[in-house]
Amino acid sequence: MLLAFSLAFGVWSFTSAFQEAHEFQDDLLRQIAFIAQRGNSAESVQADAAALPESNRDMRVVVWSLPLDMDASSTRSSIPLPMGLRDGLQTVQIDGSSWRLFVHSLHDQRRIVVGQRTAVRNENAVDSGTWTVVPLLLLWPILCGLVGLLVRRTLRPVNALAQSIDRLTDRDLAPVPAAKVPVELLPFVQAINRLLRRLSDAAGIQRRFVADAAHELRSPLTALSVQIENAAGAMRTEPVAERLAPARQGIARLRALLEQLLALTRVQSDTPASRNLVPLQPVLRRVLQDLLPEADRKNIEIEVDCPDSAAAAAQEIELVLLLRNVLDNAIRYSTSGGKVEVSIESKGRRTTIDVCDNGPGIPLRERGRVFDPFYRGGTTVEVGSGLGLSIVRAIVDRLDGTVILRWTDSVHEKGLHVWIALGIDTTPASPR
């Protein structure tokens, strides 16, 4: 780029200086012709601008023709020459102005003096130098602009690479593409891919550990539950039943925790699942059948609005887990005699799920953390594991959806409104 611009501006500068030199020489020829027309005399002969309208007045050359024995200062020239001029080039002061003179003695006892103002010569030199500097001054801003443009264009694959890395999640740690990455950054990209591979292996080991631990604990819990039931059946006394009741509740909680851990590891699996268009009305009916006993125990009314056309692109088990955890939380934290409203609607390419309860709700400061596993708010008094909303977020992320928590009653800041948006497109989404 430097070579191209240097050649272009060099040609331009050379052409401009070449034309300027030709103009100067042409003007000089005009003045010499005019001087020759005037003839030689003992008086000064000047190229008058009025006589040469096409000539540059500032470029005029003055010629004196003097007898050898005549002193320069005694001439009748309008420009008096100083005394003691020697042959050759010299710079003298005449009437306060600097002149460059050339003095030459002829064989016929005459002297020729040719002169020009030094200011005119300096001005011509400055003009010639300016034509040399101007291209350089024009080169640098253009060069800086082009360098910035080329750098942005060159780093465009790097920006695309950064965006692809930014879209990675803990469920998708696929290697980033390095096809269009500059060669200088290729080792860096390869190091990132090796790191992602190690992170993916570590995440897989962690999920498998949780799943294996949950599976291993299910059998002992089942055996313990059976033993407690047998002990209670063998000793049918009220004190024994009261003492065994906490053990039964503890085992039930552990069993529910294990089921939720297994559900969480299932929805966080790296294996992409095929998506089918699943009607939501049968799924909702199946979930409500499991949760109605708890709702009846707390005397909670459940109002449902789910048309036959409501559907979502997912696996049925994912939708079951999603609705079960959302509705279980709504029933669990609603006050006795309260109301839970469920509304599902499919419009366009999106399905929305709204679940509202009249419980205490979740404060704004805690809404960013309630999706973390095992997090329970400080005001929570209900028994739970803190995995329900984590499972909901994991399923929604897996389905490329959105979940937002709001107040059911925003004026009094009461109740929890869970708003979920899912797509109904059966085409699997690209890895994020």
Predicted confidence band of residue 369 (pLDDT cuts 50, 70, 90): confident
At how many degrees (to 10) do helices 238-267 and 316-333 cross? 130
pLDDT at 209 over 90: no
Task: Determine the residue type at 171.
Answer: R
Residue 234: which pLDDT band, with cuts at 50, 70 and 90? low
Check residue 200 and give its pLDDT: 80
Mean pLDDT, the chain, whole residue set: 76
Examine the pLDDT at 432 and tell me if it is beyond 50.
no
In the block, tokens 């593409």 appear at 177
Q: Per residue in 35-51, pLDDT tens?
A: 665 554 434 444 443 44
Instruction: Say if residue 1's pLDDT is above 70.
Output: yes
For residue 240, the model assigns a pLDDT of: 63
pLDDT in tens, 120-135: 777 777 777 777 777 7
Name the phi and psi angles at 349, rounded to 5.
-105, 25
Amino acid at position 61, single letter: V
Q: Looking at the DSSP assignment, which residues form a beta bridge with residue 169?
A: 172
**Residue 208 reports pLDDT greater than 50:** yes
Give 95's pLDDT tier (boundaries 50, 70, 90).
Answer: confident
Highest mean pLDDT among 33-37, 175-179, 327-331, 388-392: 327-331
Average pLDDT over residues 74-99: 75
C-beta of residue 274 within 8 angstroms of C-beta of residue 428? yes
Indicate yes or no: pTM above 0.75: no
Is the pLDDT confidence value at 257 over 70?
no
pLDDT given at position 327: 92
How far apart CA 7 and CA 340 sit, in angstroms, is 80
Q: Are 83 and 70 in contact (CB under 8 A)?
A: no
Query: Quick one: what percent of the chain has pLDDT higher than 70?
Result: 71
pLDDT tier at 323, thresholds 50, 70, 90: very high
Contact residues for 299 (Cβ-Cβ < 8 A; gap 6+)? 336, 337
pLDDT of 351-367, one tens digit each? 999 999 988 888 888 88
Q: What angle do CA 386, 391, 393 make, to 5 degrees?
A: 110
Dig out the tokens for 331 from the structure: 């029933």
Per-residue pLDDT at 343 exceeds 90? yes
Question: Using CA atoms, how far apart are residues 133 and 135, in angstroms rounded to an integer?
Answer: 6
Tell me which of 113-117, 123-127, 225-229 is least confident: 225-229
pLDDT of residue 342: 93
Residue 75: how many other CB atoms lie within 10 Å: 20
Burial class of 234 by CB neighbour count within 10 A (0 to 12, 13 to 18, 19+): exposed
State the average pLDDT over residues 269-296: 82
Q: How is 186-217 classified by DSSP, letter by letter?
A: HHHHHHHHHHHHHHHHHHHHHHHHHHHHHHHH
